[in-house]
A and B are shown apart, each in its own frame.
With several copies, the nearest count.
Chain A
Amino acid sequence: MPADIHTFTLVITGAPYSSQAPETALGFARAVLRAGHTIDRVFLYGEGVHLASSLASPPSDETNWTRAWGDFLQEHSVPAVACIASALRRGLVNESEQKRYQLPASNLAAPFEIAGLGEWVESTIKSSVQSSRVIYFHGGA
């Protein structure tokens, strides 16, 4: 990898329809790839996990941020992970958590996945290299 190619991890902690964090992060993510850099992972934490909800149905004249992010992630094969502890508290579960906790449904949108903070720790460790960056997108309230 040439020295001027950088690897980014994006951490989103603000929810859509409550904060601009998912929008700002997506604009940034597109610019990262446009410049030829790579995104190794998007990590949703705290309120940010709501971005991965398959049930969000904003009015037709508002952006569906789950879909906009999902399309971007799939098109560019970027993995995105919601923190399991944040997700379970806030009612965001995949099929395996649905079974484990005997819940009536699951609502995790593809291609988002659920995993532990270890994924974030891994990105943090990697970012000690000069060509690596972890950038946080917080809510704006």
Chain B
Amino acid sequence: MHTLIVIDQPPYGSWGGRESLDMAFSLAAFDQPVSLLFIDAGVLWLKQGQEPDGIYQKSVERNLAAASIFGVEALLAEATACHRFGLTDNNLINGVTRIENTGTTLQQYQHVVFSG
């Protein structure tokens, strides 16, 4: 059973996104198929060049770039949200698949989860 974990908030302002990643990495650690879907302002997690040292947080960019190594099957991003926030091939981290119809994507997973 494939789990889809959805992130819809920007990075760093709250801990929900980090706790979503923890869920994804835990499933992957137990060899359970899991993918991440970024929608709305959540797509900003996928932008290159994040430098959160100044707000005393760790960058999540490296974790996400290493997601496939950890066993996360796919990083999916809502195409319209990417367009809205100026995310293009040039500034998205590697390994992101943009999807046009999130509703259709959602239908494909038995287990769809928000962290909070």
Contacts and interface: CB of A to CB of B under 8 A. Distances in A.
Tell me, yes or no, whether A and B come into direct contact in the complex with CB atoms closer than 8 A.
yes
Nearest to A17: B15
Contacts of A17: 15
Nearest to B12: A20
A18 B57 CA distance: 13
Contacts of A134: 111
Contacts of B56: 23, 63
B50 to A, nearest CB: 14
A53 to B, nearest CB: 15
B62 to A, nearest CB: 13
Interface stretch (B24-32, B67-75, B89-97, B98-106): B24-32
Contacts of B114: 136, 138
A62 B43 CA distance: 23
A118 B26 contact: yes
A123 to B, nearest CB: 11
Which bucket holds chain B's interface residue count?
20 to 34
B4 to A, nearest CB: 12
A18 B15 contact: yes
B20 to A, nearest CB: 10
Interface residues of A, number: 32
Interface in B1-45: 1, 3, 9, 12-16, 19, 22-23, 26-27, 29-30, 32
Interface of B: 1, 3, 9, 12-16, 19, 22-23, 26-27, 29-30, 32, 55-58, 110-111, 113-116
18 contacts: A13-B116, A19-B13, A20-B55, A23-B55, A46-B115, A61-B58, A62-B57, A63-B56, A85-B19, A121-B26, A121-B27, A121-B29, A127-B1, A128-B1, A136-B114, A140-B13, A140-B14, A141-B14
